[in-house]
Amino acid sequence: MSLEAQTAVAGDEPALAYTPEVARATAPIYDRLRGVLPEIEWPIHAPYVDAINRLKRQRDAIILAHNYQTPEIFHGVADLTGDSLALAQQARDTDASVIVLCGVHFMAETAKLLNPEKTVLIPDLEAGCSLASSITGADVRLLRQRYPGVPVVSYVNTSAEVKAESDVCCTSANAVEVVESLGVPRVIFLPDEFLGRYVARHTGVELILWHGHCEVHERFTAEDVRAFRQSHPGVQVLAHPECPPEVLAEADFVGSTSGMIAHVGKSGAKRVVMITECSMSDNVAVAHPDVQFIRPCNLCPHMKRITLPKILRSLERMVYPIEIEPQVAARARRAVERMMEIGRGARG
Ligand code: 13P
Ligand code: SF4
């Protein structure tokens, strides 16, 4: 297959050309990515990186990218990056008139909740999340009937409809603090069972759990961790709290995606395995070329729906705008803002 054919946009649009001007304009970006992106791939990405970076300025747009985005997005076009909490904080604080959210749908919805007047775009509407789709607003209303008076804490990995039925939201970075902030003995915590079990171990609060799971993290096993330790002696094991409890029990550090990134810098570890989505290690390796990352390759199919060609199309056509029914939005916003008042948790 010719390079032109390979670089054709998924779909029907013609590929953008890798001209000498594009090569010059994007060379400093590629220099940073050299360690994680083969040189042969750059002519495919560079024309999109260049076009997106020019168009976002014309549109007064800002690109927010989650830590699981691929390196050409994360380091090539994103203005701000982070975990779910950081993305929400950055969305709240931006002056740009357009936000392009390179992540999954619930993240774009959260950005819209915090910026009702702004245009928030997601490059692919199908970028969902197994946790968000595990529960509906009607499910939460039933839980409230079953446990009258017990407050509901919802992980941000939920739809606006579910957030609207909740007292407060949390992310993996602040879940323990949010639960403790309520000052009650019992809380309904949803939808991530494993994050809930992690929170329960770190608080004296009894949690009523839902059985939602992340389809990426639930696949890791304690046996995987032991195998990494055996094949890579001295490796530091960092795990996301969406992993099963037996995996977390084997880890040296448990934290949100940004918490794991910060830990790499602070710990001075020379060999690291991140028990989480695959692209994280590539993104972190750019800033830590001296650290050896062992990469367990579990991809999030939803995060991977976001591509450079789709980001360009998003800016060209202003698609796909996030819309939330105003009454739902007003109630969901309260739950997110209440979380933001509590701030970033000590565990990061
Ligand atoms: P973080 O908030 O830790 O980035 O997690 C979001 C997520 O979807 C992890 O799977
Ligand atoms: Fe959802 Fe898991 Fe993908 Fe995160 S990694 S967006 S929790 S499916």
Q: Is the pLDDT of residue 9 over 50?
A: no
pLDDT digits (tens, 9 = 90+) for 305-331: 999 999 999 999 999 999 999 999 999
Distance 160 CA to ligand 2 centre (A): 16
Ligand 1, atom 6, residue with closest C-alpha: 84
Task: State whether the Cα torsion 107-110-111-112 is positive or negative.
Answer: positive
pLDDT of residue 218: 98
Distance 219 CA to ligand 2 centre (A): 12
Ligand 1, atom 7, residue with closest C-alpha: 84
Q: Return the closest-CA partner of residue 247 out of 232, 231, 229, 259.
A: 229
Q: Is the pLDDT of residue 38 over 80?
A: yes
Cβ 281 under 6 angstroms from ligand 1: no
Q: Is the pLDDT of residue 198 over 50?
A: yes
Q: In this predicted structure, which of 12-26, 45-59, 106-120 has the lowest mean pLDDT?
A: 12-26
pLDDT of residue 4: 43
pLDDT of residue 343: 65
- Among the atoms of ligand 1, which is closest to the Cα of residue 103? 8
- Is the distance from CB of 158 to CB of 106 less than 8 angstroms? yes
CATH of 3-128+302-317, one of 3.40.50.10800, 3.20.20.150, 3.30.428.10, 3.40.50.2000: 3.40.50.10800
Ligand 2, atom 7, residue with closest C-alpha: 214
Name residues whose C-beta falls within 8 Å of residue 309's C-beta, 6 or more positions apart in sequence. 9, 10, 11, 13, 48
Task: State whether the Cα torsion 50-51-57-62 is positive or negative.
Answer: negative
pLDDT of residue 1: 34
Residues paired with 186 in a beta bridge = 206
Q: Is the pLDDT of residue 3 over 60?
A: no
pLDDT of residue 63: 98
pLDDT digits (tens, 9 = 90+) for 98-112: 999 999 999 999 999
Q: Is the pLDDT of residue 344 over 80?
A: no
Cβ 256 under 6 angstroms from ligand 1: yes
Please identify, in words, the CATH class of the domain defined by 132-213. alpha beta
Cβ 105 under 6 angstroms from ligand 2: no
Domain segments of the chain as ranges:
3-128+302-317, 132-213, 217-294
Q: Is the pLDDT of residue 2 over 70?
A: no
pLDDT of residue 296: 87
Distance 37 CA to ligand 1 centre (A): 23
User: How far apart are alpha carbons 174 and 162 in whole angstroms?
Assistant: 19
Q: Does domain 217-294 have CATH number 3.40.50.10800?
A: yes
Q: Is the pLDDT of residue 6 over 50?
A: no
Give pTM, 2 decimals: 0.94
Region 184-188 average pLDDT: 98
pLDDT of residue 251: 98
Helix, strand, coil percentages (3-state) for the chain, rounded to 5, are 45, 15, 40
pLDDT of residue 263: 97
Region 125-153 average pLDDT: 98
3 state SS of 278: coil
